[in-house]
A and B are shown apart, each in its own frame.
Chain A
Amino acid sequence: MSSRVNSDPPPSRAALSRRSGADLANALGPQRLELLRVACSPGSSITEELHAFVVAFTKLRYRPAVADRIALTAYELFANGLSYGSISSMVALELAEEQGFVLVTVTNEAIQARIKVLVERCALLRTDAKSIYMEEIRRNVTGGIPRAMLGLARIVHEAGVELSVVAQGSAVTVVGRCKS
């Protein structure tokens, strides 16, 4: 699992708007077979319908256990994008295959503080996903303030999916890499 932040000077907003999530995600590796791309506005409430579609699609293409992992990853990343992304930009979900892995990519724009938190959380999960997951469950059991990290922790700990983050200016792409 990697957590990367591009250190280049941020591109202009106009330049960013010309770049799709696929452009950013394609920088992660060659020989990708794109399977699915969906984008919607943050105010949308299509998570249930989108989840049902992803489940149906992945169950046709993969073993049930793999389909379940992809569906969980797609749901939680997309829901996070809707919840924490900029209200003025689209949230995009993409599924692709690359060298024996399924890549679940969610791209959206967010304020720098949100991106920083996301990068930090992914880095934490890289160190010890099980402990972070248990901490999130414990935080809820003991009545602590829930953080929006249970979903990411489930992706890594429960589904065994690797997460990486690529940020460029206000655009952030989170990729879940699931062995197919």
Chain B
Amino acid sequence: MSNLSSIAVPKIDSLTLAVSEADGLVLTGTIASRDPNPTIGAYFKKVHEQLLATKPSKFTVDLTGLTFVNSSAVRLFIDWAMWIGQAGKTPPYKLHFRIARSITWQQTNFTALQSLAPNVIEIESK
């Protein structure tokens, strides 16, 4: 059993981050900070490290309520996929991104990302 809820969630005005064992991570709002890495990136890293310890087969990240991200934030998701890819020959878990068909940035960026890391990333369009 993981303990994701014990990881301190960064407080960001435009973004809500909610995590649960059942639902994974749910992001709602926008990411328009010029450098989201020290806050959101650091949080993703802690979640990833927790998942390495608990070894789930996959972890869901629900982005259907995330309406805008800047390019710095796109890199946060790429970094997460990289960490998994670098963790061993067999990915320790898969990142399951739940995305919205109606949100262009999600379709474009996650389709591209999955094509480059198909063994790490799953996409569910809603």
B54 within 8 A of A: no
Min CB gap A126→B, angstroms: 19
Known A48-B14, A48-B33; judge A154-B82 contact (CB<8 A).
Answer: no
Complex Cα distance, B33 from A82, in Å, reads 13
Task: Name B14's contact: one of A52, A72, A158 (CB within 8 Å).
Answer: A52
Partner of B82, one of A65, A68, A141: A141
**Which stretch in A22-30, A131-139, A168-176 binds the other chain?**
A131-139
CA–CA, A55 to B69, complex, Å?
12
Query: What count of chain A residues pass the 8 Å CB interface test?
Result: 30
**In the complex the two chains form, what is the Cα distance from A26 to B14 in whole Å?**
35
From known contacts A52-B14, A134-B112, A154-B71, infer whether A47 and B32 are also in contact, taking CB-CB under 8 Å. yes
A45 to B13, alpha carbons, bound, how many Å?
A: 14
Category for how many chain B residues contact A: 20 to 34
Q: Given A141-B116, A141-B117, verify A75-B32 contact (CB < 8 Å).
A: yes
Residues of A within 8 A of B75 (CB): 140, 146, 150
Q: Does A51 contact B (CB under 8 A)?
A: yes
Option from B13, B108, B117 in Cβ contact (under 8 Å) with A157: B108
Q: Establish whether residues A75 and B116, one from each chain, have CB atoms under 8 Å apart when the complex forms.
A: no
The answer to whether the Cβ of B123 comes within 8 Å of any Cβ in the partner chain is no
Chain A residue nearest in CB terms to B85 = A141
Closest residue of B by beta carbon distance from A47: B34
Of residues 25 to 74 in A, which have CB atoms within 8 Å of B's CB atoms? Answer: 45, 47-48, 51-52, 55, 65, 68-69, 71-72
Show 10 A/B contacts (Cβ-Cβ < 8 Å), sorted by A.
Answer: A51-B30, A55-B68, A137-B78, A137-B109, A137-B112, A140-B78, A141-B78, A141-B116, A151-B70, A158-B104
